[in-house]
Amino acid sequence: MNVDGSDGPLDAYDRSGRYKLYRLAAGAPMVGEVLPKQVGRPLRFVVQKRLDGRWRFHESSSFTISSSGTVTAYFKPARPGTFRIRTVFDVFDYVRDGSPGGT
């Protein structure tokens, strides 16, 4: 999978309108934060690619939330393209197991 938790650059090399541009080999940083902190729980990044004028699922990967309540990973596509990335935290598991703040 091309989504990983390795180190990479944090800054884009340029902008195009509201979009940040990253070099293909360097990868794009993804930072997710969950409040209140949910240390040790998974946070998933879902990547979609723009194809034929529509957003389509490309790949996803989960990472463990650190003690700071964040996850940092890098998306390194094999080929150029237009991508968007969103984070997913499974709130239902949080509520179901009786964690603080759950019902």
pLDDT tens string 11-22: 788 888 877 788
Which among 50, 4, 49 has a CA at the least distance from the CA of 30? 4
For residue 102, pLDDT over 50 is answered with: no
Look at 7 and 63; give whichever has higher pLDDT.
63
User: Using an 8 Å Cβ cutoff, are 46 and 3 in contact?
Assistant: no
Which among 82, 7, 93, 5 has a CA at the least distance from the CA of 45? 5
What domains are there in the chain, each with its CATH number? 3-96 (2.60.40)
Residue 92's pLDDT band (boundaries 50, 70, 90)? low
pTM comes to 0.73
Residue 97: both structure tokens together: 């197991």
Looking at residue 93, what is its pLDDT?
57
19 DSSP β-pair partners? 16
Is beta strand 19-21 parallel, antiparallel or unpaired with respect to 28-33? Answer: unpaired
Average pLDDT over residues 42-61: 94
Distance CA 8, CA 26 (A): 7
